Amino acid sequence: MPSRRTVLGTVCGAAASALAGCSRLRSDAGRVDLTIFNQTATAYTVEVAVFGDGETAAAARAYTSSLGVELDGEVTANGVVEAGRYLVRYRAYADDSRLTDDGHVHFVPSGDGTESLAFDIRETGDVTRR
């Protein structure tokens, strides 16, 4: 029969592991996921830059990435920024070379803990917010 100390150590270890998982889930809930859906028969590269408050562009830049989206595919970047108000700039390139759209959107969090920003790439090469 295991000693009381062994049982207590095992139970405490399991509880700590369970709580660690819960706190990770809570911290991801306050972040914004970014998804791009490609509705075309062409591969695209989409450059995304997310800007918050800041005195300079460098200080305001919260996230920047270049995301490749296969034809008729999708790509998701999880938890790219903390939930908040942002200016999101994007540029879409067909076949990683020809600029088809250049624009921006304003992101305001819903506040329900499931923050996400999604875009569609249309047959025309235009990017629209979903």
What would the pLDDT profile of 18-48 be if each residue is shown by its tens digit? 444 443 344 456 999 999 999 999 999 999 9
Q: In the prediction, which pLDDT does 113 show?
A: 83
Report the alpha-carbon distance of residue 80 to residue 30 in Å, rounded: 10
At 116, give phi and psi (nearest 5°): -155, 155
Name residues whose C-beta falls within 8 Å of residue 30's C-beta, 6 or more positions apart in sequence: 82, 83, 113, 115
pTM of the complete model: 0.76
**List of the chain residues with pLDDT < 50:** 4, 6-8, 10-27
